Chain A
Amino acid sequence: MVERMMYVNLMGRILDLDRVIEKYVSRFDIQFEYASHELPGAEGLIQLPSANPYSDAMRKIENMEKIAPLPATGQTSMAIDEALMVLDEAWEMYKERDERLKELDAQKQELEAFNKALLPFMSLKFDMAKLSEFRLINITFGKMPVSNFRQFEAFLYDDPEILFVQSDRTKEYIWGLYACPITYGEKVDSIFSSLHFERVKLNSNFYGEALSGEPERVMRQIDDKLSSVLAEISRLNNMSPDFANRPERLPEAAAVVRRIHDVYEIRKYASKTPNDFYVFVGWMSERDAKRLQKEIGDDNMVVLVNESEKIMANSSPPTKLNNLPIIRYFEFFTAMYGMPGYGEFDPTPFVAVTYTLLFGLMFGDLGQGALIAALGYYLYRKRGFSLGAIMAVVGVSAMVFGALYGSVFGFEEWLPALWRRPASDINSTLFFAVGAGILLIVSSMVINITNALKQKSWGKLLFSPNGVSGLLFYLAIVGIVLCALNGLTALAVALGIVFVAVPLILIALREPLTKIIEGRKAKLESGPAMFVLETIIELFEVLLTYFTNTVSFVRVGAFALSHAGMMGVVMLLARSATGGDRNIAVIVMGNIVVMALEGLLIGIQGLRLEFYEMFSRFFSGNGRAFRSYREMK
């Protein structure tokens, strides 16, 4: 159902704006429109500034609440200036802690980097602090590629001026340090850099504290430091001691700021008139609008003007769907195609019923249906997938049809068929599917006719392929086929002349006829020859569409058959593996494969039938969805 909307104007003195927002507006779902755009007659309307002066304060509150939520308070009598002061005071404390946290984080990162750099040198056994005390020997830590290390090993290992101490190695790199007398420093450095030796910086000084001992000991020192830093970080994060003695009035101040902040969030939708009045314009559902009207009652500081949707508002009414609980899940499919326009028939209930039936018809299996329903329910409840709810519904439908077909997990002999088994008479299954299709096509045509009546679009009502002419034509063809099948040839011919020829001519001439009905002059824009050509081609397409759309429903029967067929194959495989008894593993696997494959295929094919065979007949889907300002944040 598309909910009825009302166009709302709310006016008053600007001094009274905050009170009105708080008391009335903030409690309703409204889609605001820009007043200056909506009311072309009203000159000098100014949109109120969209920047919120309290967003800064609000951010502070949100940051503080990350540490510890502020208790709710009923008192909000504090003046805003005072509230801001209290807030700033608390913020100072918070900031101190925040800065300390940042500092600690920097230390943590530095320690971790150092830790990582030191790791490959753990196997070295000498005092790091003493290394830096050498005056006449240069010591450089680093890594080099294995292939270059081979070159070093081959030609320079015996060089008396170079000492290389190897530590860890991987497939690609060798870590280590080289030492040389300071007088050869430059030469040796250039050798090593030509061998792609990459330096690793290990400063043995950390925040004023010298690290000493073997790398292993240094590593322990670093780990100790790191864990103390981490401990302090978590202490600051969890205990927030600064807030134990935070200002008593902070909760109240926060509540006040939050309230005013929220008011300003709404203020930006208002416009100001030159003589200090404000105006809100927007769309509300009729129910909400009536409720608002009642609440405002005789508050003589506010003027509320409710107008029905037919006023001369510049914006078209937005569409708000309102359906019964189970049907509501299928709004997902409707929205996938497009939002119904306001005043258009909401196809959701139609989809809900037909899709559920079609899925059940195609996927009739009691056991597999139950599994799909359970999976869908799980996905919807725990994961919040909107498709899950639909799966649950169609799963139940599949169970019902499974009982009707007498099929459980592909076992056809366990249950008696309450209605019939699809595979027992293939022809009648297919005929039944086409029959159901004809019914669905006819009902979508009827919906289109109602839509056209509602929209007072006479051309569409009378002459379109999905209007009255189309419906008559289609029914006539169906009738002729039925008569011919039953041997009533004379009746078929009579029907043919009256109900086939006439509607077809009307459909062919629908464009000029529509213009005539609407009181416009019927003029052929591209000349008679072109008109005839276009008309013939279009007519051909229309006829073809009727035919293909009808035949298209054969798939409903075909899928019902293929389910039985595929499960038959699974049963055959289960038997052939053991040569007698059925193999449980094969049956389970087969069921899973068939369920996944068919579930997906049928889900998609069903949707295809909905969108292509039915929606295209009556649904334009060019509406815009209703979005309350509350969702816009």
Chain B
Amino acid sequence: MNFASINAKIKAMRGNLLPYAIFESLCRMDNVEQTARALTGYTPYANVLARFSGGEVHRGMLEQYLIFSLSEEFMRIYRFISDFNIRKYMRAFFLDFELSIIKTLFCTVFDERDISYSAPDLNLLFGKDMNIDASNLISSRDLGEFIQSLRGTELYSMLSDRITSDSTLFDIEMQIDLYYYMNLWRRQRQHLDTKNRGIMERIKGVEIDMRNIMLVWRLKKYYGMDDNLVYAYLIPIHGRLSRAKLVRMVNCLSSADVEKEIEDSPYGRVFGAMEDIERSFYMEMSRVYRHIERSNPNSLATIASYVFHKTLEIRNITSLLEGVRYKLTADEIMQYLYLPDKVDSERKEAP
């Protein structure tokens, strides 16, 4: 497939990503309502936030609906892809997003969180790929019911035998992640040509490596989890990080030992002193996406990179809204945002 036309479109869409300066100005807003109104001024959010016009703006709801802007963006790209195989692969790629909504809904089963998704909203998203009746999903009141309402999907067969009444939310989320990556790897093999498969395996390999590292480190540091149990949460795919290395990390007795192993791994430089690993993760991902995108201009990388950066932007806006809601100062808020173009601008200034 020729990516020239779709990449031209992506470049146009990328123009709508919010630059660093706008985040800086948004941080200075007094309240959530004001921020939301400011956001409606930017094309990608005008539609989604329009439904709040006039009404009371609630942070939780705002966050949930921001996610829909992501879905809208994706559908615009998706419709533009003419190649049948690429389409199939992109569904698997973007499943991440739908699974994150399912995870959120799972949370509601565990605690009485308020969810303002309505069935029609969800059907818009799930309808095509997953064959899920969203209204059942929303009305489920316990874990069993919830899993039953996923019946007919691949996810169902995976969750139904592995989740028991004493499964924790963490177990479920990990199972869903596992499903996502294994499905993605299968689709990659099925639908992509050698070049694009190589590209996507490189990108997603880095993502999986870092996720596994972060997971092991956290489980050791905060939960002191027995190494026997850790394996069930790891994603059995690897990039540059060898399996033996990961097993060594799992076998470490303390988190300090794990840190030593990380330092010694290809990702030692990325995580540094393990101070803000979440930021390290996103920054590295962003770097990898852009690097690969630049070196492979006529490939899937452009689309994938855009989707990643868009997702990151939504995440940043969500953090920002949270900061505004809790009356943090602009500087404090900026610390919680992972803005890749800040790094760029600093780099440009440096020499």
Interface residues of A (CB under 8 A from B): 145, 147-148, 150-156, 158, 172, 187, 190-191, 194-196
A154:B232 contact, CB within 8 angstroms:
no
- Determine if B162 and A145 form an interchain contact, defined as CB atoms under 8 angstroms apart: yes
Sorting the interface of chain B by its residue count into under 10, 10 to 19, 20 to 34 or 35 or more gives 20 to 34
* Beyond A155-B247, A195-B232, 20 extra complex contacts between A and B, CB < 8 Å: A145-B158, A145-B162, A147-B158, A147-B182, A148-B162, A150-B236, A151-B234, A152-B231, A152-B236, A153-B236, A154-B234, A154-B237, A154-B243, A155-B234, A155-B236, A155-B246, A155-B250, A158-B244, A190-B228, A194-B231
Q: What are the residues of chain A within 8 A of B247 when measuring CB–CB?
A: 155-156
B335 touches A (CB below 8 Å): no
Measured CA separation A187–B227 after assembly (Å): 10
> Which residue on chain B has the smallest CB distance to residue A157?
B243
The B202-260 residues at the A interface (CB cut-off 8 A) are 226, 228-229, 231-232, 234-238, 243-244, 246-247, 250
The 3 closest A-B CB pairs, nearest first, are A154-B236, A194-B232, A150-B236
A554 CB to nearest B CB, Å: 47
The distance in angstroms between the C-alpha atoms of A158 and B179, with both chains bound, is 24
- Bound CA–CA A195/B178 (angstroms): 12
Cα separation A232 to B237 with both chains bound (whole Å):
55
Within the assembled complex, what's the spacing in Å between the Cα atoms of A154 and B208?
A: 13
Contact A195:B231 (CB < 8 A) given known A154-B238, A155-B246, A172-B157: yes
Determine which of A158, A172, A191 lies in contact with B231 in the assembled complex, contact meaning CB atoms within 8 Å: A191
Separation of A152 and B229 alpha carbons in the complex (Å): 12
Q: Residues of A contacting B178 with CB < 8 Å?
A: 147, 151
In Å, the complex CA distance between A172 and B182 comes to: 13
Q: Which residues of chain A are within 8 angstroms of B250 by Cβ–Cβ distance?
A: 155
Chain A residues with Cβ below 8 Å from B236 are: 147, 150-155
27 contacts between A and B (CB under 8 A): A147-B178, A147-B179, A148-B162, A150-B236, A151-B178, A151-B232, A151-B236, A152-B236, A153-B236, A154-B234, A154-B238, A155-B234, A155-B236, A155-B243, A155-B246, A155-B247, A155-B250, A156-B231, A158-B244, A187-B228, A190-B226, A190-B229, A191-B228, A191-B231, A195-B231, A195-B232, A196-B161
How long is the Cα–Cα vector from A145 to B162 in the complex, in angstroms? Answer: 9
A619 to chain B, nearest CB (A): 48
Chain B residue numbers with a CB within 8 Å of A156 are 231, 247
Q: Which residues of B contact A155 (CB under 8 A)?
A: 231, 234, 236, 243, 246-247, 250
Within 8 A of A (CB), among B124-170: 157-158, 161-162
Q: Which residues of A contact B161 (CB under 8 A)?
A: 145, 196
Interface residues of B in 168-193 (CB under 8 A from A): 178-179, 182
- The one of B228, B232, B238, B244 in contact with A148, judged by C-beta atoms closer than 8 angstroms, is B232
Contacts of B229 in A (CB 8 A): 190-191, 194
Q: Which residues of A contact B226 (CB under 8 A)?
A: 190
Residues on B with C-beta less than 8 A from A190 are 226, 228-229
Which B residue sits closest to A188, measured CB to CB?
Answer: B228
Residues of B within 8 A of A172 (CB): 157
Contact in complex: B182, A150 (CB < 8 Å) = yes
Residue of A nearest to B235 (CB): A151
* Chain A positions within 8 Å of B231 at CB level: 151-152, 155-156, 191, 194-195
Docked CA distance A187–B250 (Å)? 14
Docked CA distance A148–B162 (Å) = 10
Instruction: For residue A162, give the distance in angstroms from its CB to the closest CB of chain B.
Output: 11
Cα A148 to Cα B228 with chains together (Å): 14
Which of chain A's residues has its CB closest to B238's CB? A154
**Min C-beta distance of B306 to chain A, whole Å:** 30
Q: Which residue of B lies closest to A149 (CB)?
A: B236
Contacts of B232 in A (CB 8 A): 148, 151, 194-196
Roughly how many angstroms separate A145 CA and B182 CA in the complex, as a whole number? 13
A194 to B233: give the CA distance in the assembly, Å: 9
